[in-house]
Amino acid sequence: MTGKAFSPAFRAELAELLRWRRDVRRFRTDPVDETVLARCLDAFRLAPSVGLSEPWRLVRVGSPAAREAALTNFQAANAEALSGYDGDRAERYAGLKLSGMREAPVQLAVFCDDSAPKGAGLGARTMPEMRRYSVAGAVMQLWLMLRAEGLGLGWVSILDPDRLAADLGVDEGWRLVAYLCIGWPETDDCEPELEKAGWEQRAADVPVEWR
């Protein structure tokens, strides 16, 4: 088997992809072509996982009842989060749009099976949390594949994870890693919404300490 090399032009475009990837909260309601979605979900099949455990478990949240349960969950968690802020911060928090759960045509709950049998536990003895990191990494790959198609992804974490697992009736031992809203974004953007809203600024660089 011969190796595979990538061109400088591709690398530049990959950097552009990272630069234009956004956490999207404002979606158009147009449907997403299932063929395109399936092509992007292939990111999971190709993703690395600790010991080849492939611990990701995907649930498509499609029925009105399941959607309603997820939205109610978000609303409760969001109200509680708001109550944790005061004054200016509270006002700013209240003004943020933190989920596209009403609009996003595709919604996916991604779980980690902490007792995934594959891989016989390799690499997860001292750091069992590695399985969840594998799931998070796979989500990152999906995110980039979607953005390359022009699709947006919003990762919602303002949720009670245990309640969502119970409401969706998933297997015992599955832990929510990500609730994903997927669809066509209202706009493409280079700047994070939280930055535009004055909530937080990105750092100009990433310091590296030496040991």
- Taking CB under 8 A as the criterion, the residue among 35, 87, 126, 172 binding a copy of itself is 126
Give me the least distance between CB of 29 and a copy of itself, in Å please.
19
Cβ nearer to a copy of itself, comparing 103 with 149 = 149
- Which residue's structure tokens are 């998070």? 136
Per CB under 8 A, which of residues 38..77 are in contact with a copy of itself? Answer: 39, 41-48, 50-54, 56-63, 66, 77
- Taking CB under 8 A as the criterion, the residue among 31, 95, 150, 198 binding a copy of itself is 150
Which regions of 91-201 does DSSP assign to beta strands (E)? 106-113, 152-156, 174-183
Residue 151 interacting with a copy of itself (CB under 8 A)? no
Residue 210 interacting with a copy of itself (CB under 8 A)? yes
Give CA–CA dist 130/189, Å, rounded. 32
Give CA–CA dist 125/74, Å, rounded. 33
- Which residue's structure tokens are 């309640």? 163
Give CA–CA dist 192/23, Å, rounded. 7
Residue 166 interacting with a copy of itself (CB under 8 A)? no
